[in-house]
Structure 1
Amino acid sequence: MEGPQPPRYSMLEAAGWPRDSSFQDGAKVKDDGRIEVDLDSKLCKTVSKLIPKVHEEPSAPPPPPILSLGDTCELQLNIVIQVVGSRGDVQPFIALGNELQLHGHRVRLATHGVFKNFVLESGLEFYPIGGDPSELMAYMVKNPGLIPGMKTLRSGEIQRKRAMVAEMLQGCWYSCISDDPSTQVPFVADAIIANPPSFAHIHCAQALSIPLHLMFTMPWSSTRAFPHPLANLKYSDTEPKMANYLSYGIVEWMTWQGLGDVINEWRASLDLEPIPATEGPCLTETLKVPFTYCWSPSLMPKPLDWPSNIDVCGFFFRSLPDYTPVPELDLFLRSGSRPVYIGFGSIVIDDPVAMTQMVLQAVRALGVRAIISRGWSKLGDVEASSDDQILYLDDCPHEWLFQHVAAVVHHGGAGTTACGLRFGKATTIIPFFGDQLFWGNMVASCGLGPKPIPYQSLTTENLAEAIRFCLQPAAQSAAYNVANRMGGECGVSTAVASFHRNLPVKDMQCDILHSEPAVWRLKKKTKSPIRLSKLAAEILIQHHRFKISDLQPYETRSVFIQNRRWDPVTGTASSLLGTSTDILKATGDIVYRPYEEFRRVPKGQSQLVPPETSCSRSSSITSTTDAVSLAPSSRSSSKLKATGAAMEGSAKSLGKAVGFCYKGMLIDMPLAVTEGLRAVPRLYGDEVRDHGDVRGWKSGATFAGKNFVHGMVDGFSDVVTQPYKGGQKDGAKGVAIGIAKGTLGMTTKISSAALGLVAYPAHGMMKSLYTVTHSKTRKLVIQARIQEGKYLVEHSVKSQENRQSAIRKFETAYRKPVDAASLSSG
């Protein structure tokens, strides 16, 4: 029987992407896991228009940021590190977490439950986010690109992966505000560090209004220096550097098409507005989120066009473990020449038996000794015995083992690759998916090993040839030289310095206790607004300086996601499309929700009969008889309840459809036209004035006023200034162009100014209404911060040390003067 149809990708279909093809028009997944991106296709040309225009590449490298390793951050923060991936993805962040602890931060690592002991044994706090990394690895081996094949879609496997992503998104949110699962100590994050595949990072940061810092092992930021590691470019009329740049945006768009609805549905549970389809893919770049890449700059320096908020800091290494090898391993290492290490770590291979035979044949053909790591695929039969040439190994720290081998063969995970290079080992990489091919090409380009051999292309012959290459003196010498250069880098320390440099420390600092981050703002009962930490606020509340109701949440770094418009035509079209989609969905729910309610009505008499208990047989029969006699009325009651719920659901859906219609026609589309008109000058190279963000009715009215004044003034002045500027630059031709620009500018700016008087205040009022009606998450965060403040006062050593100084400083510097009458009444 044919499986279920794959989900619709409406935007892709609208761009001409056939639903029944395996994404053949514009992009398809190659055998090596990369996405073949055809920039000449209709789809990619459509998507390319939605990617923000890039500025010219600088001719000289920008000055490097000042990252002083001796500097420390005065603030002591609660930091949650969110990581999705394998053990190799988690391990670098353990090193990072330990380094952050040295600076006085409290660090929680949130990742998959299977890594609990690994994290706790390193001295970090742990929080499980759900998800099965072994299942993720098996899925990625079958679908090495970001886009699944049709076979995977029909099997339902993609739906299970989407459900797992939804689980991990929720787990990441809980990791920001939940008590420690083991000790029950309260925890509310003051900052987030994450790898991009965790996906929840920017949304959690928005809900909490706290800083976010991304860190990763492969390029994820748009650059003209090289294409996205997961993209195999094909083009004819696109400039190569521009093609490289576009590849990042296109890969992001493909990812968002598969997960955007999952993310928006989860955002709704956090009281966050949905992200527009045009903003979701490149959100972190648009918001200029700080990014640190953890690879050695001696292998690949920072590209010239990466801005100052992006750093390349070096590999993240843990301290060398205190490890004593098992007797079998110790004996094997002392019994002959240095062996070759062969292992694929967390990769789950479909046919581990065939892989084992291939490895054994290659090793025996060369006559070398080898250590074969079983890994998650369990290479080698369980009963397979080691001998003088082959040793099967279960678990051993790479930091110890790689010091005792001649070369390494592995899947190309960033952590394993870095560890091999750290100890000067020539490397053969067998990539399966993700960044592994990127690291394989990097190793080969530096002469540290042969070209990577994709897993699907691996044979006994090319594996043996690759190992032979690694044992050559040239490869060994190149690896040794790289290890020497890497020895002078302090990747983890430099990354922590990058994290501290990008923190808004002055904005985060509590005005009473300077080492504490502020989470509250006190406006009443003080001469001026005062920022307070959880600890400082609770100390002052307990000493009756004010009440908890006098405090307001303080936004350390607010995240504002703007639905940008490029011109009035596309702006209006996209707004109309979005409104139509919402109305159609709500209209469908008018029928679908009653159907769902009636499906829940119990069917059959057996469902109404209670299970048999330990009572006597006769009482059991009596109970059964009673249940049968009551079954019709119970069933009728269930139907009545279902009917009521169905009518209620249908009515709500009808109300939503009407609401979407009015909102679209009266607010969204007028706003889209206004914003599109305001953005037109940007199309011919002019700057568009920044009037701030519309967050509520007050800022909406302010924005409208500024836009009206500047729109009128600039619109009329453009008629004169644009021809003058054009003439100065290009003579008569420039004057003609200037007249056209001036006429267009006057039309669009004056129109935007007039329409904005209605559109922006209405938009602000909707924002205010949304904030008032969606306060569940905000109240949850407030309560969590109150609970942590109480815990800190009761259990923290700092509370005893700072209690008197906090009260004294508050009284002298911030307390409002009071008259005698109020003192006597108090």
Structure 2
Amino acid sequence: MRAILTNFGTLGDIQPFVALAVELKRHGHQPVLAAAPSYRALARQHDVDFIPVGPDLREAQSGITQAMMGSPDVVHSAGGMLQLFQPLLEALPLMFQDLRAACQGADVLVSGRVQPVARMVHDLTHLPFVTVLVEHSGSGGGSPAFQFAVRGLVNPLREAHGLPPLDNPLVDGLSNQLVLTALSRHVRPPASDLPPHHHTVGYCLVDEPAFTPDAELASFLAEGEPPVCITFGSMTHADPAALTDTLVAATVRAGRRALIQHGWSGLGQRVLPPTVRALGQVPHSWLFSRVSCVVHHGGAGTTGAAFRAGVPQVVVPHTYDQFTWGEVVQQQGCGGAALPIGELSAERLGDALSAVHARADIQASAARLGEQLRAEHGTMKARQLLEDLVRRVGLATDSKAEDEADAEDEGRQQRRKSALKQQRARKVET
């Protein structure tokens, strides 16, 4: 089975598809990651075939995030959202062209919700289509202004290819054949009235048992108590140096050693005290199990990785659905109230770190949930459902093709018989 796996967005949006690709390849299939050119190295790291889709829009994505952080009301302005989406609007035709070409000879297309052209490719090619979500399907429609902007992004290209417009592409663009929610029911139980083709499979995370840290990181981890890990992923900040100072001061206030990941902002790139180390890209599945607490932005993937590691969390939401994930962490008893980035201070973060380390109930809740999640096998369940769909739809497609071929052969025979009768009739007339 040749499977094209695609999504648009940041590392957290792409990683579930890498996890599924690794699982598919392990079972003899031919997965291909089709994503922005900047993810080629990620695919190579996991020995997964890669096809670039569209241009690299990292700067545009950072600009959108910063604009929404600086002016949260922009999500309620249709004109403001359309303006933010302009770079994506210009890139959409190339993304569609690249993804459609990548699907030549494929057996199935597997896409995230925020890949704007995947549903178009399915509608035009009728390739079996699967949607993978990181949140239940009832979420993710966005504000009315956001929906308006997404319609303005997607529908002109759909109409140019003879396809009907979608009222809400983030909801109406989901697969009608199979929807996989890569989220644990222990974290957020699914609704009881989901359609039968919707399945909650559990987190799809890449395990990195073979990862080897560099000597400096290995030494730092070994020389004292487990440190705090601070990671804001793809979030960008106007003054990374000042934010780094705040983070360092918070760890000093709490009396904790710390690891600060650079992320897209380049945090930690200054002189640091001996109790703090900066580091680049390190797999969260490896790192989080070796720290005492994770301070993060509340991305769905990072939250899931911290849940699975069984460690307490301090969520510092920046934008999007990160505030919701901060609430989920608190509801699960795995952390206290979230600290929005606009309200962050060394005092507040330091006190939050002290609290999660002092509270036995938070430690116990995090450990218990981690055990439950590590017993799940989200990527295995997703792979099995994907195989079932292709087997079922493929057989139906093959049968239909055979029926059409038989009908065409029968039609040819009837036409031949008719032509022979006409020839005989003409001979009789002469």
TM superposition score category, shorter chain reference = 0.7 to 0.9
Structure 1 residue 340, shift from structure 2 partner: 0.5
Tell me which amino acid in the other structure corresponds to 2:120: H
Q: Which residue of 2 aligns with 1:659?
A: none
Deviations 1:28-79 (Å, cap 9, x if unpaired)?
Answer: xxxxxxxxxxxxxxxxxxxxxxxxxxxxxxxxxxxxxxxxxxxxxxxx2x32
Structure 1 residue 400, shift from structure 2 partner: 1.8
- Higher RCO by CA contacts (8 Å cutoff, separation 6 or greater): 2
Q: 1:491 to 1:87 in 2, by over 3 A?
A: same
Q: Which residue of 2 aligns with 1:742?
A: none
Distance in 2 of aligned mates of 1:345 and 1:519 = 50
Distance in 2 of aligned mates of 1:440 and 1:362 = 19
Q: Which residue of 1 aligns with 2:371?
A: 484
Q: 1:380 to 1:167 in 2, by over 3 A?
A: same
Structure 1 residue 297, shift from structure 2 partner: 1.0
**How does 1:786-825 map onto structure 2 within 5 Å?**
none
Tell me the matched-pair count: 414
Q: Which residue of 1 aligns with 2:331?
A: 445
Structure 2 residue 307 is matched with structure 1 residue 421: yes
Structure 1 residue 507, shift from structure 2 partner: 5.2
Structure 2 residue 145 is matched with structure 1 residue 254: yes
Aligned residue for 2:114, secondary structure, equals helix
Tell me which amino acid in the other structure corresponds to 1:475: I
Structure 2 residue 199 is matched with structure 1 residue 273: no
Q: Which residue of 2 aligns with 1:121?
A: 45
1:87 equivalent among 11, 18, 35: 11
2:251 equivalent among 355, 359, 363: 363
- Give the conservation status (yes or no) of the 8 Å contact 2:335–2:356: yes
What is the TM-score of this pair, normalised by structure 2?
0.86
Structure 2 residue 276 is matched with structure 1 residue 374: no
Q: 1:108 to 1:323 in 2, by over 3 A?
A: same
Q: Which residue of 1 aligns with 2:426?
A: none
**How does 1:80-159 map onto structure 2 within 5 Å?**
80-129=4-53, 130-144=55-69, 148=74, 158-159=82-83
Structure 1 residue 106, shift from structure 2 partner: 2.2
Q: 1:307 to 1:369 in 2, by over 3 A?
A: same
Aligned residue for 1:214, secondary structure, equals strand
**How does 1:459-470 map onto structure 2 within 5 Å?**
459-470=345-356
Distance in 2 of aligned mates of 1:429 and 1:309 = 33
Tell me which amino acid in the other structure corresponds to 1:340: V
**How does 1:2-401 map onto structure 2 within 5 Å?**
76=1, 78-129=2-53, 130-144=55-69, 148=74, 158-159=82-83, 161-168=85-92, 170-178=94-102, 187-219=104-136, 221-222=137-138, 228=139, 248=141, 251=142, 253-269=144-160, 271-275=161-165, 278=167, 282-284=171-173, 288-381=176-269, 384-401=270-287
Deviations 1:590-622 (Å, cap 9, x if unpaired)?
Answer: xxxxxxxxxxxxxxxxxxxxxxxxxxxxxxxxx
Q: 1:210 to 1:409 in 2, by over 3 A?
A: same
Aligned residue for 2:130, secondary structure, equals strand
Aligned residue for 2:289, secondary structure, equals helix
Structure 1 residue 521, shift from structure 2 partner: 4.9
Tell me which amino acid in the other structure corresponds to 2:4: V
Q: 1:338 to 1:280 in 2, by over 3 A?
A: closer
**How does 1:566-645 map onto structure 2 within 5 Å?**
none
- Give the conservation status (yes or no) of the 8 Å contact 2:78–2:145: no
Deviations 1:282-325 (Å, cap 9, x if unpaired)?
Answer: 4246x745321111111121111222221111111213241221
Distance in 2 of aligned mates of 1:364 and 1:520 = 73
**How does 1:583-732 map onto structure 2 within 5 Å?**
none
Deviations 1:681-740 (Å, cap 9, x if unpaired)?
Answer: xxxxxxxxxxxxxxxxxxxxxxxxxxxxxxxxxxxxxxxxxxxxxxxxxxxxxxxxxxxx
- Give the conservation status (yes or no) of the 8 Å contact 1:146–1:254: no
Structure 1 residue 498, shift from structure 2 partner: 2.9
Structure 1 residue 131, shift from structure 2 partner: 3.9
State the identity %.
23
Q: 1:363 to 1:506 in 2, by over 3 A?
A: closer
Q: Which residue of 1 aligns with 2:321?
A: 435
Distance in 2 of aligned mates of 1:520 and 1:457 = 65
**How does 1:554-573 map onto structure 2 within 5 Å?**
none
Structure 1 residue 488, shift from structure 2 partner: 1.6
Gaps of 5+ in 2: 421-430
Distance in 1 of aligned mates of 2:159 and 2:68 = 29
Distance in 2 of aligned mates of 1:524 and 1:336 = 75
Q: 1:469 to 1:176 in 2, by over 3 A?
A: farther
Gaps of 5+ in 1: 1-75, 180-186, 223-227, 230-247, 529-549, 551-814
Distance in 2 of aligned mates of 1:486 and 1:338 = 22
Distance in 2 of aligned mates of 1:519 and 1:254 = 47
Q: 1:523 to 1:347 in 2, by over 3 A?
A: same
- Give the conservation status (yes or no) of the 8 Å contact 1:353–1:379: yes
Tell me which amino acid in the other structure corresponds to 1:477: A
What is the TM-score of this pair, normalised by structure 1?
0.46
Q: Which residue of 2 aligns with 1:795?
A: none
Aligned residue for 2:74, secondary structure, equals coil
Root-mean-square deviation (CA, aligned residues, Å) is 3.2
Distance in 1 of aligned mates of 2:402 and 2:325 = 41
Q: 1:149 to 1:254 in 2, by over 3 A?
A: closer
Distance in 1 of aligned mates of 2:320 and 2:170 = 18
Structure 1 residue 426, shift from structure 2 partner: 0.6
Aligned residue for 2:324, secondary structure, equals helix
Distance in 2 of aligned mates of 1:519 and 1:261 = 41
Question: Which structure is larger by alpha-carbon Rg, 1 or 2?
Answer: 1
Distance in 2 of aligned mates of 1:279 and 1:463 = 38
Distance in 2 of aligned mates of 1:471 and 1:259 = 42
- Give the conservation status (yes or no) of the 8 Å contact 2:76–2:145: no
